[in-house]
Amino acid sequence: MRRIVAKIVCVVLLSDYFCASVSAHEQSNRRPLMNTTSVQYLGNEALLFTDGDRKVLFDPFFHNNYGSYQLVPESILKAIFSGEAPFDNVTAIVVSHAHGDHFAASDVAKYLAKYPKTKLVAPSQATEKVLSENPDVASQLVEIKLEFGDKPVTNVVGDGVQALTIDSVRIPHAGWPKRQDVENLVHRVTLPSGKTVLHMGDADPIDVHFSPFAEHWRARQSDMAFPPYWFFVSPEGPTILKKRINALKSVGVHVPTSVPVTLQQSGGDYFSAPGEVRKLN
């Protein structure tokens, strides 16, 4: 009814411009909700990567913000747990490392038990914790156990049209040479369309960690990389993003809620408000 009234108003009273925008609005309402490949920011390093059919959640569940970082808002967590669009039919949860601002084993275990088709791709430090929470989800776990210098591994996750290719490599956690015990993984996730993103966890921004894997970076270009924001404000970080990892664009994550001035001045793109979206096409 409202549409009919709008059309009559168009015909009788208003300009072509208004009428054109009414009809564009009608058309956009008819399109599927998610018709492009995109990445939505949920908080800290939590992201939803989707083309509408396939859905990947990176580092979605955690409860510690160490007083500085963005938690995933309750409303988003609720939508994820209740499987509301766009958080329905998630093919995989992909975890970078088992720190409290990226990972909460109890939530991941609870989610996997509720959604038996969803897989978890994570370092063994995370999968072991999930397993001790709930051994019944064992078949949903894709455990990645890598030492420093090990060759990257590739997993194909999901069935048929849902299948994702996930290449993972161990890159030391920020703060090198401290925290060497942390299994931090950089995951490159490719949808069947070829669209690819690189989630870098809490990688340390020194090229000596990345250069041994030159062939790995060359093997596939990422449409978008998601480095922790310190890559934009460290001496070697910008060069790693531009020249090493073979990504067309980079969008910073792990940004403190009070955005550092150095990041603002760096000219780099970054996420800071949950719900923000970057389109890949």
End-to-end distance of the chain based on CA atoms, in angstroms? 35
Minimal distance, residue 228 CB to Zn ion, in Å? 9
The contact set with Zn ion (CB under 5 A) reads 99, 202
Minimal distance, residue 207 CB to Zn ion, in Å? 20
Minimal CB distance to Zn ion: which residue? Answer: 99
CB nearer to Zn ion: give 54 or 99. 99
CB nearer to Zn ion: give 62 or 87. 62
CB nearer to Zn ion: give 204 or 223. 204
Minimal distance, residue 2 CB to Zn ion, in Å? 50
Minimal distance, residue 138 CB to Zn ion, in Å? 25
Q: In whole angstroms, what is the distance from residue 53 CA to residue 65 CA?
A: 31
Minimal distance, residue 115 CB to Zn ion, in Å? 26
Query: Could you tell me if 24 and 44 are in contact, meaning their C-beta atoms sit under 8 angstroms apart?
Result: no
Q: In whole angstroms, what is the distance from residue 147 CA to residue 21 CA?
A: 56
CB nearer to Zn ion: give 183 or 202. 202
CB nearer to Zn ion: give 99 or 188. 99
